[in-house]
Amino acid sequence: MNDARMANPAVVIPEAMPAILGLVKAAKKGGVPESVLELVHLRASQINGCSYCVLAGITSAKRNGESDERLHAVAAWREAPFFTEAERAALELAEYVTRLADRAVVPDDVWNAAASHFSEPQLASLVLWISLTNFFNRINATTRQPAGTTW
């Protein structure tokens, strides 16, 4: 599939872009390493089937020094030996936040595992980042934004 249903809604309604970019900037202020944010973005985008965000996430992560080995293993992070305990906690949190319809809530054990590795501002950053990823996934998947295109 090569054609989007429409231009990205944030381009169609340009007043949305400053607010979206402000949220992106704010979500990165919690002190979570960029590499962790990129991993959770990739995992949520894989779950949601957003090819635009999967490719954009991989491209960004590689530009920031992430290895192919780890990027290829994100979909199977539980079985892969390449991730730290903190990264695993963040990836699990990303899965639960992304699959709310499947599981209803983020269980205490998942939250507590993340909280054992991340401070409250970092947890806030992770929750905002994962939520923003889901926001982007829904926009891009709904409007069928092709992977590899730019806004």
Digit-coded pLDDT (tens) for 103-136 = 778 999 999 999 999 999 999 999 999 999 999 9
Does the residue 8 lie in any domain?
A: no
- Tokens found for residue 100: 């709310």
Does residue 130 belong to any structural domain of this protein?
yes
40 lies in which domain range? 34-142
Using alpha carbons only, give the angle 124, 129, 131 rounded to the nearest 5 degrees.
95
Taking a C-beta distance cutoff of 8 angstroms, is the pair 138, 36 a contact?
A: no
Query: Per-residue pLDDT for 13 more than 80?
Result: yes
- pTM comes to 0.93
The pLDDT of residue 38: 97
Is residue 123 in some structural domain?
A: yes
Mean pLDDT of 31-42: 97
- Tell me 140's DSSP state: H
Helix/strand/coil (H/E/C) assignment for every residue in 89-132: HHHHHHHHHHCHHHHCCCCHHHHHHHHCCCCHHHHHHHHHHHHH
Q: What is the pLDDT of residue 3?
A: 86
How does pLDDT run across 42-96, given as a tens digit for each residue? 999 999 999 999 999 999 999 999 999 999 999 999 999 999 999 999 999 999 9
CA distance 4 to 134: 19
How is residue 5 annotated by DSSP? S
Q: How confident is the model at residue 6 (pLDDT cuts 50, 70, 90)?
A: very high
Residue 111 counted as domain residue: yes
Number of domains in the chain: 1
Residue 24 is assigned to a structural domain of this protein: no
CB atoms within 10 A of CB 25: 9
**Within a domain: residue 70?**
yes
Judge whether 14 lies within some domain. no
- Identify whether 128 is part of a domain: yes
- In CATH, what number is assigned to the domain containing residue 75? 1.20.1290.10
* 100: pLDDT strictly greater than 90: no
